[in-house]
Amino acid sequence: MVSRQIDLDEESDRILSELAEDYQGDLGKALSDLLRAHKSVESFVEDCEETQRDSLLAQKERAERGFREGRFTRWDEVKRRHNL
C-alpha cells in the first residue's frame, strides 16, 4: 500500500466524502475505485473511437468541407450577429 498526501478544493473534497459514504467512509477505498473506474472508462472510449474511426473521420471531413464551402456559420459569428 502507498500513502500519499493530496490537496483538494472544497468541491472535490465534498464529492469524495459523499462517494466514500458508499465505502463505509473509507476515502482511500473510494478513491481507488474511482481511479480504476476512470481507467476503465478511458479504455472504453478509446475502443469506441477505434471501432468508429472511419465514421468519425468522415463526419469530421463533412463538417470541415461544409465550413470551407460556406454552408455553416461558426458559433462566434452567430453570437456576433445576434449580439450575444
**Tens-digit pLDDT profile for residues 11-66:** 999 999 999 999 999 999 999 999 999 999 999 999 999 999 999 999 999 999 99
Q: Is the pLDDT of residue 1 over 90?
A: no
Helices 27-51 and 53-68 meet at what angle, rounded to 10?
70
Amino acid letter, residue 78 = V
8 Å CB contact between 63 and 69 = no
CB burial of residue 30 (10 Å; 0-12, 13-18, 19+): buried
Q: Is the pLDDT of residue 74 over 90?
A: no
Residues 47, 20 within the same domain:
yes
Residues 61, 43 within the same domain:
no
Query: How many C-beta atoms lie closer than 10 Å to residue 27's C-beta?
Result: 13
Domain of residue 42, residue span? 10-51
Amino acid letter, residue 20 = A
